[in-house]
Structure 1
Amino acid sequence: MRDSRTIPPEVSIVVPIYNELENLPDLVERIHGAMATQPLSFELIAVDDGSSDGSAARLRELAAGRPWLRAVCLVRNYGQSAALQAGFDRVRGRYVVTLDADLQNEPQDIPLLLQRLETDPEVDMVSGWRHQRQDKALSRRLPSMLANRLISRSTGVHLHDYGCALKAYRRPIIDRIRLYGELHRFIPSLAKEAGARITEVPVRHHARTRGVSKYGIDRTFRVILDLMLIVFFMRYRHRPLHAFGGMGLWLATPGLLMLAWLAGLKLLGHDVGGRPLLITGVMLLLMGLQLIVAGLVGEMLIRIYHEGRGQPQFYAHEHDPLAETAPSTTPPPAPLA
């Protein structure tokens, strides 16, 4: 029999958990039932994010008799991004699947996403689309709709449903991205930056029947701030001087023109010492120079990041027709005893 603890599985399923005690037994069984219908071996990495309702203890009980279930318990509540990253750091499969623990995602849709990755080599990430959402509260649906349009327009990654946690990835994409803060909402944008080719498939969605939702309308403001970070990250990560220097030039140029105008007046004998235009010109020039210097410092940090730490500046999909058509010289594996 195959030992799931020593032989890497083909699929790693990562589920962040926070105060979902009532849903855990059903969640584990439904994921097992869904994966039993397809041929790929799997592991379930359940990450408890410092729950206060006993979810961690229940996870350890469930994992005791299930070798494919790995319970990871964080010492306190760090947030969903940290919980997902804790799971990503432990994946062993060549495919990685994520979903929420509230059972609003349908585990039976996992094989659908995996089939798309298996049959389409041009796709690196499959994102679920809850095309028939069962959330009745307008306070959840309206902000989600607005956020999807705003994020798609800002990042260039056009998806109907950024908020759907049910997603599947090829392992190299997960290895290239790091989550911190609350960037779990923008994984498709980070994946695109890492070279992922993304598609979207409709999936089922259920209304929550147990537990309490952890989301509120207040998260809209956090999404806007995080979106600003993502847009800056995608456009200017490798060229911060263009961002800060550009703003600096927009401020310094009118300031310099104001000072040049006042200098001309001074040469003609006019008194310019008490004019508000003098203070405005000096402030604009100094602010512009500060931003330009900040951009130069950013350029030096980027150089240190790439050269000092050996971080790649790009990712590529390489196709070698000769290697793909040449006969294999690797001897076949020896039969198992």
Structure 2
Amino acid sequence: MEEKTESMAISKKHRQKAQTQTQEGRRVSVVIPALNEAASLSELFSRLDRVAVDQKYRMQVVLVDDGSTDNTAEVVAAYEPTFIESIVYIRFRRNLGKSVALSEGADQANAELIVTMDADLQDQPEEIPRLVNTIDEGCDVVSGWKRRRNDPLFGKKIPSQVFNWLVRKVLRSPLKDINCGLKAYRREVWDEIRVYGEFHRFIPVLAANRGFRIGEIEVEHRPRKQGVSKYGASRFVKGVLDLLTVYFLNAYRYRPLHFFGVLGGFLGILGFFGGVYLTTLWLLGHAIGTRPLLLLSALLLIIGVQVVLFGLLSQLQIDLFHKTNRDRPKASIVRRDFERANTT
């Protein structure tokens, strides 16, 4: 009951703060990673301009050019914003990936509320106010859910459905669409969570693991009009490997011995029982020297011991790291200071 009351109080505080900011002009940073999407940028900026004036946002747009080879820079330079306060253009000299682009964009953002979206106009800028309103209701991260995907069936739709199913099962995530690029975050989420590789899609899961409140709303998804999709089979494979990495980091980051100990113990037990079985046969007078099970049992025992020792060494390294740095696993906290009222 106390937890629910505190949550309601925090939510009310967020709404009051949002109302004050709305009267003054709500500051919103929109971070857009782009790779050869020049054909869509003018329309995207124009629609963001309309959102800014309709919602009275003090909007900053951060476009991160992830090594494009088209005329992205020229299109950005030619656009003159009407209601957008500023457009920040960042260009990577080579392609570094979406996670790096989003992280750099978040670093350059000047608002407490950060919205991320793709540049291909499949996600609609007009959905931004709904994301912002959900944040104001008390969420720290809001992810879009593309219930009706307008993508090729075998090229993107089925792989995305399979991947989302794996994420829900492996990470026990309630989100229906982890792949949606349209999301909104409070700034502290990006301050605490750093991503690399293809980890950007897992930010809501990583945030939930640190205690942030996560929400999801259905958003409209339209067919791609310009450019070429960057999604392919290799990205799906990388996503599955990253999924396993996130699972391991969430579950065993500070206790690797729990993982390697169980795995090594299981292998060792298999080898032990194989040895017991062979010993019984030998005592009964059967020859066991040429049986493949003898070699297999010995290998399982040796590998099991090595895996357990590897887990022990990993645990000792983590313990030594925290002692050397006088550090501990950092908690995600919300701090509020209350000063004593002056009665004099």
Identify whether the pair has TM-score above 0.5, normalized to the shorter chain.
yes
Distance verdict in 2 for CA 1:70–1:237, change over 3 Å: same
The CA deviation at 1:67 is 5.4
Q: Is the 8 A contact 1:157 1:188 kept in 2?
A: no
CA drift at 1:64: 9.5
Equivalent pair of 1:134/1:207 in contact (CA under 8 Å) = yes
Q: Is the 8 A contact 2:271 2:299 kept in 1?
A: yes
Give the 5 Å matches for 1:49-128: 49-62=66-79, 68-118=86-136, 120-121=137-138, 123-128=139-144
**1:33 has 2:50 as partner:** yes
**Structure 2 counterparts to residues 319-334 of structure 1, below 5 A:** 323=338
Residue matched to 1:334 = none
How far the C-alpha of 1:39 sits from its partner, in A, is 3.8
Cα separation, partners in 2 of 1:282 and 1:67, compared to 1, 3 Å: same
SS in 2 for 1:37: helix
C-alpha separation between the residues in 2 aligned to 1:101 and 1:298? Answer: 42
8 Å Cα contact 1:46-1:70 kept in structure 2: yes
Give the structure 2 partner of residue 292 of structure 1.
308
Cα distance change on mapping 1:64 and 1:106 into 2, 3 Å: closer
Q: 1:152 is matched with which residue: 152, 168, 187?
A: 168
- State the partner residue of 2:3: none
Structure 1 equivalent of residue 15 of structure 2: none
TM-score by length of 1: 0.83
What residue in structure 2 maps to residue 302 of structure 1? 318
Distance in 1 (CA, whole Å) between partners of 2:320 and 2:114 is 31
Q: Aligned partners of 2:333, 2:232: CA distance in 1, in Å?
A: 39
Matches within 5 A, 1:238-253: 238-253=254-269
Amino acid paired to 1:301: Q
**Residues 307 and 117 (structure 1 numbering): CA distance in 2 closer, same or farther, change over 3 Å?**
farther
How far apart, CA to CA, are the structure 1 residues paired with 2:80 and 2:305? 59
TM-superposed deviation, 1:112? 1.3
Contact preservation (8 Å) 1:126, 1:198: yes
Moved more, 155-164 or 137-146: 137-146
Equivalent of 1:189, from 205, 222, 226? 205
8 Å CA contact retained: 2:58, 2:85: no
Separation (CA, whole Å) in 2 of partners of 1:193 and 1:63: 41
| Number of aligned residue pairs | 316
Residue in structure 1 matched with residue 21 of structure 2 by the alignment: none
Map residues 275-286 of structure 1 onto 2, 5 A cutoff: 275-286=291-302
Q: Distance in 2 between matches of 1:30 and 1:182?
A: 28
Q: CA deviation at 1:277?
A: 3.1
RMSD: 2.8
Correspondence 1:132 to 2:148 = yes
Q: Percent identity at matched positions?
A: 38
Distance 1:288 1:47, change over 3 A: same
Q: Deviations over 1:42-88 (max 9, x none)?
A: 31111000001121343344489975111111110111111111112
Change (3 A) 1:209 1:265: closer
Stretches of structure 1 that go unaligned for 5 or more consecutive residues are 1-8, 330-337
Worse overlay, 207-216 or 309-318: 309-318
Instruction: Evaluate the alpha carbon distance shift between residue 300 and residue 59 of structure 1 in structure 2; reply closer, same or farther with a 3 A threshold.
Output: farther
Contact 2:45 2:81 (C-alpha < 8 Å) held by counterparts: no
1:178 matched to 2:194? yes
Note closer, same or farther for the CA distance 1:305–1:178 as it changes in structure 2 (3 Å cut): farther
Secondary structure, aligned partner of 2:108? coil
Q: Which secondary structure state, in structure 2, belongs to the residue aligned with residue 10 of structure 1?
A: strand
Asked if the contact 2:134–2:215 (Cα under 8 Å) also holds between the matched residues in 1, the reply is no
Equivalent of 1:212, from 224, 228, 231? Answer: 228
* Equivalent position of 1:226 in the other structure: 242
User: Which amino acid letter does the alignment assign opposite residue 242 of structure 1?
Assistant: H
Distance change >3 Å, CA 156–CA 25, structure 1 → 2:
same
The TM-score, its normalising length taken from structure 2, stands at: 0.82
Q: CA separation of 1:328/1:269 partners in 2, compared to 1, >3 Å: closer, same or farther? A: farther
Equivalent residue for 2:4? none
Following superposition, the deviation at residue 263 of structure 1 comes to 6.0
Instruction: Call closer, same or farther: CA 1:89–1:328 in 2, change over 3 Å.
Output: farther
How far is 1:247 from its partner?
0.4
* Greater share of helix: 2
* Counterparts of 1:97 and 1:229, CA distance in 2: 26
* Aligned partner of residue 55 in structure 2, secondary structure: coil
- Matching residue's letter, 1:115: N
What 5-or-longer segments of structure 2 have no aligned partner? Answer: 1-25
